[in-house]
Amino acid sequence: MKNTHKSLLARVRFDCEELAALLGIALLLFCGVRGAVRLQSDSLIGSFLTGTQGVFAEGNPQTERIADRLGKRLAAKGIRHSQAALSNAVATRQVLLKRKTDVQIRHGDGTQESWQMSVAAEPLLVRPVFSQKEAAFELDAERIRQMLQERVGELVPPVDARITGVEERDGFLRITTDGVAKEGDVLDEAAANDILFNALQDGTEHASLIVQRVSGQLINETERDLGQLMLLGTGRSNFAGSTWARSQNVRKALREHVNNTLVTSGATFSFNQTLERPVTTGNGWYMAKVIVNGVDLVMAPGGGICQASTTVFRAMTNAGFTAEERKAHSLYVTYYEEYGVGIDATVFPGAQDLTFVNDTGNYLIVQAYDDGYDAVVNIYGTSDGRRVKLEGPFFSGSAPEQILQGQKKLSSNDIAWLQGIEYADGSRKENLILSRYRAIPRSLPQKYLLHAGAGEES
């Protein structure tokens, strides 16, 4: 009796599964199979078939029975296919329903994200295709594209800028442009779609996609030969938390003064020269805090200009230039920690400047802008083949032998970096970037302990 009971239950389950499968086929036909027209909507049959794995297992006798009844219903619509073709279509869909792949996206800023693309969780990834010539279930490439777009979101593409003229102003050259060249993110959507499609089609467990960070281009539309205008180096800093007045000064320094500076071959770039006129409220500068006498914070016109000079210093360092004149702040400033702790430069017109010599043999163009609370400076020019590697930050307890000051180790209030430059002829040069503050936060060395010795190459 017990075995008979189990047999009866198994038969009931068997019949229910077959009935459910046939109802799904009916829904498929109801959704609009017409002659040679492809069925585009798979919502009803897709959600149903996900739960009928046992019915559609390849080689299962029920597959043939379901295919037989499917054939009869298709025939009523004027569509005829062999039993083998319909059985293969039914079995194929079940195989596809089991497909899934772990997708990893690497972004240009170094961040990564991952998710699992599962056909069982998204049955609309499979669509039915029934016509006089076709009887199949296949992956829907358009649906894959939509899912990828939803996941990645709207990417901000790079922005190009056109140079429309060159003018001399207050003793130095500036270019005129229709805007600022900005980097952006680019994903090869066609290639990405193919990668995901093939991963699901072939049963590949992992798929990797790369969103590339691409620099904007400067396009020279003048008659003057300015060279290739490749991006040689970028500097960044962040001024979030600044007062409104300080933020305005940072933006003014970047947009109106640093931006579009043209440096001829052999000439010296001077940050103070880009300011052009005295830093006064009458010239559009706001009152904000500045460091005076190395220790005092006082209100003065232009407080925050050093955010721009610090960003320029980082750009020229990354581009492989050595500062002719540069001084770190006497007080450690938290605004300058992000993107290069210890790589900062203070300026004060008439007393302290930031300078470097253009030794590339061609023009250099300095562009600057603010992106939210990020300050960005880009240096464009013709590459002479030099390569740059930055190592650091180093503190008194983590400094390697080559950056010791004579026989004396770094002080507890020092932050140091090594700038290594390799030129096209194979010659090398190492420059020490040393910033000595009155004091630094005690937690700072420990915070960067894991980063000590790390290098960034450009």
pLDDT tens for 261-319 read: 999 999 999 999 999 999 999 999 999 999 888 778 899 999 999 999 999 999 999 99
Alpha-carbon Rg for the chain in angstroms:
33
The amino acid present at 415, given as its one-letter code, is: I
Does 375 have pLDDT greater than 80?
A: yes
Does 70 have pLDDT greater than 80?
A: no
Q: Does 159 fall in a domain?
A: no
76-82 long-range CB contacts below 8 Å, 24 or more apart?
77/29, 77/33, 77/34, 77/35, 78/35, 79/33, 79/35, 79/130, 79/131, 79/132, 80/132, 81/135
Q: Does 233 fall in a domain?
A: yes
Q: What is the percentage of the chain residues whose pLDDT exceeds 90?
A: 65
At 405, the pLDDT band (50, 70, 90 cuts) reads low
pTM: 0.78
Per the model's pLDDT, the better-predicted residue between 117 and 88 turns out to be: 117
pLDDT digits (tens, 9 = 90+) for 131-141: 888 888 899 99
Residue 449: give the domain boundaries.
225-457
CA atoms of 418 and 455, how far apart (whole Å): 9
Q: Does 264 fall in a domain?
A: yes
pLDDT digits (tens, 9 = 90+) for 217-236: 999 999 999 999 999 999 99
Cα–Cα nearest to 197, from 117, 124, 129: 117
Q: Does 10 fall in a domain?
A: no
Q: Does 203 fall in a domain?
A: no
Cα–Cα nearest to 72, from 26, 121, 108, 132: 26
Q: Does 27 fall in a domain?
A: no
How much is the average pLDDT of 359-363?
97
SS3 per residue for the chain:
CHHHHHHHHHHHHHHHHHHHHHHHHHHHHHCCCECCECCCCCHHHHHHHCCCCCCCCCCCHHHHHHHHHHHHHHHHCCCCCCHHHHHHHHHHHHHHHCCEEEEEEECCCCCEEEEEEECCCCHHHEEEEECCCCEEEEECHHHHHHHHHHHHCCCCCCECEEEEEEEEECCEEEEEECCCCECEEECCHHHHHHHHHHHHHHCCCEEEEECEEECCCEEECCCCCCCCCEEEEEEEEECCCCCHHHHHHHHHHHHHHHCCEEECCCCEEEHHHHHCCCCCHHHCCCEEEEEECCCEEEEEECCCHHHHHHHHHHHHHHCCCCEEECCCCCCCCHHHCCCCCCCCCCCECCCECCEEECCCCCCEEEEEEEECCEEEEEEEECCCCCEEEEEEEECCCCCCHHHCECCECCCCCEEEEEEEEECCCCCEEEEEEEEECCCCCCCHHHHCHHHCCCEEEC
Q: Residue 368: phi, psi to the nearest 5?
A: -145, 145
Cα–Cα nearest to 128, from 102, 79, 90: 90
CA atoms of 155 and 149, how far apart (whole Å): 9
Is the separation of the CB atoms in 239 and 390 below 8 Å?
no
C-alpha torsion angle, residues 421, 423, 428, 430 (rounded to 10): -20
Per the model's pLDDT, the better-predicted residue between 458 and 164 turns out to be: 164
Q: Give the pLDDT score at 315.
A: 98
Q: Residue 141: phi, psi to the nearest 5?
A: -60, -35
**Residue 61 CB partners (closer than 8 Å, separation 6+):** none
Q: Give the pLDDT score at 94.
A: 83
CA atoms of 166 and 252, how far apart (whole Å): 21
Q: Does 231 fall in a domain?
A: yes
Q: Give the pLDDT score at 52.
A: 39
Q: Give the pLDDT score at 62.
A: 74
Number of domains in the chain: 1
Q: What is the percentage of the chain residues whose pLDDT exceeds 70?
A: 84
Q: Does 392 fall in a domain?
A: yes
Cα–Cα nearest to 381, from 363, 356, 359: 363
Per the model's pLDDT, the better-predicted residue between 336 and 8 turns out to be: 336
